[in-house]
Amino acid sequence: MANDDPVALDRAFEVALNAGDLDALMALYEPAAALMPMPGQVVVGAAAVREALAGFVAMKPVIRTSGRLVARTGDLALLANDWKLDATGADGKPVAMAGSAIEIARRQADGNWLFVMDMPFGTPAP
């Protein structure tokens, strides 16, 4: 899916996660991107991001997002995204999560936008 609008990243993330498509999720991130898979934990780089996202894919989630552009300058965009996720935990019990994400995206040479930083839990206090 082409992401020629930075806000399209959140919709593409929703589609890929709901489909359980880890490769499509990874295609939304720069190789050295940072991701906060849990409050207070940040992982950096493709291998770490892939491992973190694989954990979410394994839960067979359904996520709903509402991304929006906050600010854009040149090839950088600051996004905000309110999301809700319903899934099944490893113990078979339902899991419900929600958050207000902040994200930074960068326009690539081909015109597509990719996540540089994806902080689904916002900026929680340490």
Starting from the edge strand earliest in sequence, which strands make up the sheet with 113-119, in order? 41-44, 29-38, 113-119, 94-107, 76-88, 62-73
Supply the pLDDT for residue 126. Answer: 46
| pLDDT surpassing 80 at residue 37 | yes
CA distance 125 to 45: 23
CATH (domain of 29) = 3.10.450.50
| pLDDT surpassing 70 at residue 21 | yes
Convert the pLDDT of each residue in 41-94 to its tens digit: 999 999 999 999 999 999 999 999 998 888 999 999 999 999 999 998 888 899
HEC readout, 33-51? EEEEEECCEEEECHHHHHH
CA distance 21 to 87: 15
Our count of domains for the chain comes to: 1
Least confident of 10-14, 16-20, 84-88, 119-123: 119-123
Percent of the chain scoring above 90 in pLDDT: 77
Work out the mean pLDDT of the chain and round it to a whole number: 92
125 within some domain: no
| pLDDT surpassing 60 at residue 118 | yes
Supply the pLDDT for residue 89. Answer: 85
The pTM of this model reads 0.91
CA distance 115 to 126: 23
Q: Phi first, then psi: give them for residue 53, nearest 5 degrees.
A: -70, -30
124 within some domain: no
Q: How many CB atoms lie within 10 A of CB 123?
A: 10
Lookup: tokens for 48? 């770490």
Q: Print the domain residue range for 17.
A: 8-119
108 within some domain: yes
Supply the pLDDT for residue 40. Answer: 85
Lookup: tokens for 9? 């990243």
38 within some domain: yes
